[in-house]
Amino acid sequence: MTYLIDAWLDRPHPYLRILNRETGEVCVVLEEEAIDELRDQGDLDLSGLNSSEPIVLKELVRSLFLFCYARALRPHGELH
């Protein structure tokens, strides 16, 4: 399965989505709060988003999926 990163980070309410490249299905949506958390942790590498190297993009997608799963497993109300 291949993925496409759709990121709009330079807008008032940024978001980042990961889409299934074959179907267009949205697999992950990160909005402003999650993006800020990733930036604060140093886990959002903007140069990685601009990369055309498959290994860099693959690692970025993997990291974003792991972040989303970890965030979903947190007890409600816990921020970091």
pLDDT tens-digit readout, 16-37: 999 999 999 999 999 999 999 9
**Long-range own/partner contacts, residues 29-35 (CB < 8 A, 24 or more apart):** 30/64, 30/67, 30/68, 34/67, 34/68, 34/71, 35/9
Q: State the Cα–Cα distance between residues 60 and 48, nearest whole angstrom.
A: 7
Q: Is residue 79 part of a domain?
A: no
Q: Is residue 47 part of a domain?
A: yes
By residue range, what is the domain housing residue 12? 3-73
Q: What is the pLDDT of residue 13?
A: 94
How many domains does the chain divide into? 1
The candidate with the shortest Cα–Cα distance to 26, out of 52, 53, 48, 7, is: 7
Q: Is residue 78 part of a domain?
A: no
Tell me the mean pLDDT in the region 61-65. 94
Q: What is the pLDDT of residue 80?
A: 55
pTM, to two decimals: 0.83
Q: Is residue 62 part of a domain?
A: yes
Q: Is residue 53 part of a domain?
A: yes
